[in-house]
């Protein structure tokens, strides 16, 4: 059970206005809120009404909007509260630098990398939802956390599951990790059908309620591709030890296989608060108001092999894992750029993977990153190339 003395006291939530951020504040409220924790900083982007509301409710010391044009509005909304207001990239770094012992990294995309690194550098415990940090910066990110003296606790449901199943003394017997994937809304679609899908259809996840980017990423299985690379860096396993299995009910969150044939799984209802709570009170477990599994009602759990022809993102992740270097950063940045174009209805659903593949091929000869600056450069280069690839698609259409 959760004991006050084992949990951190000063907390920061980067990306507090998003799906993970809102769930994180809900967990914090359930575990005692202001009586038990001190909120050092909250950050958002465009949604300053919610950000201001959150800052008032939690008594946050600092509130930051990434969007500089919203600075004055946020400052007005928090007038008289004593909450320090800042904006832009430097504001995000300031928020991450506040002396919270525990930082939830829940910004979406590579926009979260610099602030999360700033928190890691001063030794905070990083609860990592923002998987793009690991996909882009890989070992450099892990090293930054180690150098800072803090630790990394996964929040992604699959990686939290694996973290919960990995027995500390059994590492030498670890054979494989098995990431489960729901298969998303297009699990049974043909490629012809997928070519025609709308943004609205792609964002409708069968089991989880999440932000737009990850919902579309679940439909294309690009999210699983990111998670394969995330798993490699979190658990220090080889590409051949990472398996993906489609499990449409999203009850088993992931599994670990050992050398004696045993497989250990973590199960629960699809509710991110379990993984968030575990990251907050680890190694204890909090008391949370999530639904309990009713096995008689679930009755059955299904599994299917993933189809890399219909979901090429999985193949791209394997390629990135095998090639190493900046291929993860290239894949992620190209897909983020292609995702924006898909949401703007400039390209089709299947074009996203095509663009990521094109950019990865173009950047194959790029050397590995030896500094975070190299990662930012590779990210920017991949975005430029993705913009060109998108323009070619638009011209051809």
Question: Which residues contact Mg ion (rule: CB under 5 A)?
Answer: 156-158
312 lines the binding site for ligand NAD (CB under 6 A): no
Stretch of residues binding ligand NAD (CB under 6 A), selected from 210-218, 253-261, 307-315, 322-330: 210-218
Task: Name beta bridge partners: 84.
Answer: 62
H or E element at residue 251: none
Name which of ligand NAD, Mg ion, none residue 20 binds, using a CB cut-off of 5 to 8 Å depending on partner kind. ligand NAD
Give the one residue of 214, 276, 321, 363 binding ligand NAD; rule: CB under 6 A.
Answer: 214
Give the one residue of 94, 132, 230, 336 binding ligand NAD; rule: CB under 6 A.
Answer: 132
Shortest spacing between CB 380 and ligand NAD, in angstroms: 14
Give the one residue of 62, 108, 179, 382 binding ligand NAD; rule: CB under 6 A.
Answer: 108
Shortest spacing between CB 40 and ligand NAD, in angstroms: 16
Non-local (6+) Cβ contacts of 240 within 8 A are none
Shortest spacing between CB 205 and Mg ion, in angstroms: 11
Name which of ligand NAD, Mg ion, none residue 108 binds, using a CB cut-off of 5 to 8 Å depending on partner kind. ligand NAD
C-beta closer to ligand NAD: residue 42 or 321 = 42
What is the sign, positive or negative, of the torsion defined by CA atoms of 24, 25, 27, 28?
A: positive
Provide the mask over 1-40, with x wherever binding to ligand NAD is found by CB under 6 A and - wherever it is not: --------------xxxxxxx-------------------
111 lines the binding site for ligand NAD (CB under 6 A): yes
C-beta closer to ligand NAD: residue 205 or 393 = 205
Stretch of residues binding ligand NAD (CB under 6 A), selected from 123-131, 143-151, 300-308, 378-386: 123-131
Give the one residue of 126, 129, 134, 162 binding ligand NAD; rule: CB under 6 A.
Answer: 129
130 lines the binding site for ligand NAD (CB under 6 A): yes
CA dihedral 339, 225, 121, 145 (to 10 degrees): 170
280 lines the binding site for ligand NAD (CB under 6 A): no
Q: Counting every residue, how long is the chain? A: 397
Shortest spacing between CB 266 and Mg ion, in angstroms: 13
140 lines the binding site for ligand NAD (CB under 6 A): no
CA dist 157 and 266 (Å) reads: 10
Closest CA to 332 of 67, 65, 141, 126: 141
Shortest spacing between CB 253 and Mg ion, in angstroms: 8
CA dist 118 and 389 (Å) reads: 33
C-beta closer to Mg ion: residue 157 or 215 = 157
Shortest spacing between CB 182 and Mg ion, in angstroms: 9
CA dist 327 and 385 (Å) reads: 13
Residue 343, token pair as written in the block: 């949401």
Closest CA to 136 of 383, 353, 362: 383
CA dist 313 and 289 (Å) reads: 35
Tally Cβ neighbours within 10 Å of residue 258.
17
C-beta closer to ligand NAD: residue 27 or 393 = 27
Non-local (6+) Cβ contacts of 55 within 8 A are 42, 63, 78, 81, 83
CA dist 259 and 273 (Å) reads: 32
- Which DSSP symbol is given to 38? E
Closest CA to 237 of 180, 176, 157: 176
From first CA to last CA, the distance across the chain in angstroms is 58
- Site size toward ligand NAD, by CB under 6 A: 27
Name which of ligand NAD, Mg ion, none residue 33 binds, using a CB cut-off of 5 to 8 Å depending on partner kind. none
Instruction: Transcribe 322-339 into DSSP letters.
Output: HH-TTHHHHHHHHHHHHH
Ramachandran angles phi, psi of 314, nearest 5°: -65, -40
Shortest spacing between CB 181 and Mg ion, in angstroms: 9
Positions in the binding site for ligand NAD (CB under 6 A): 15-21, 44-45, 47, 66, 106-108, 111, 129-132, 156, 208, 210-214, 272
């Amino acid at each position: 059970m959760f004991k006050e003395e084992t949990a951190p006291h000063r907390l920061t939530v980067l990306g507090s206005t998003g799906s993970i951020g809102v769930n994180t504040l809900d967990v914090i409220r359930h575990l005692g809120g202001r009586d038990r924790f001190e909120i050092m900083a909250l950050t958002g982007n465009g949604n300053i009404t919610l950000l201001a509301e959150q800052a008032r409710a939690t008594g946050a010391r600092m509130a930051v909007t990434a969007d500089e044009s919203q600075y004055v509005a946020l400052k007005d909304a928090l007038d008289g509260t004593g909450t320090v207001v800042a904006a832009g990239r430097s504001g995000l770094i300031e928020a991450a630098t506040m002396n919270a012992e525990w930082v939830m990294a829940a910004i979406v995309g590579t926009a979260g990398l610099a602030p999360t690194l700033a928190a890691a550098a001063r030794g905070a415990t990083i609860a990592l939802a923002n998987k793009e940090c690991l996909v882009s910066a890989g070992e450099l990110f892990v090293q930054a956390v180690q150098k800072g003296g803090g630790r990394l606790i996964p929040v992604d449901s699959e990686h939290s599951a694996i973290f919960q199943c990995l027995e500390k003394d059994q590492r030498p017997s670890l054979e494989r990790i098995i990431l489960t994937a729901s298969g998303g809304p297009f699990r049974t679609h043909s490629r012809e059908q997928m070519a025609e899908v709308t943004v609205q259809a792609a964002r409708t996840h069968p089991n989880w309620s999440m932000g737009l980017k990850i919902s579309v990423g679940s439909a294309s299985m690009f999210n699983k591709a990111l998670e394969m690379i995330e798993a490699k860096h979190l658990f220090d396993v080889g590409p051949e030890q990472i398996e993906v299995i489609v499990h449409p009910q999203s009850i088993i969150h992931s599994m670990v296989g050992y050398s004696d044939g045993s497989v250990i799984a973590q199960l629960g209802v699809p509710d991110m608060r379990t993984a968030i709570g575990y990251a907050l009170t680890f190694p204890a477990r909090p008391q949370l108001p999530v639904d309990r599994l009713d096995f008689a009602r679930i009755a059955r759990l299904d599994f299917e092999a993933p189809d890399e022809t219909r979901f090429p993102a999985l193949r791209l992740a394997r390629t990135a894992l095998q090639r190493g270097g900046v291929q993860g950063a290239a894949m992620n940045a190209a897909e983020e750029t292609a995702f924006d174009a898909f949401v703007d209805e400039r390209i089709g659903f299947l074009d996203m993977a095509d663009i990521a593949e094109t950019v990865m091929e173009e950047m194959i000869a790029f050397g590995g990153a030896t500094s975070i600056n190299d990662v930012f450069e590779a990210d920017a280069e991949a975005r430029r190339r993705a913009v060109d690839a998108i323009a070619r698609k638009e011209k051809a259409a």
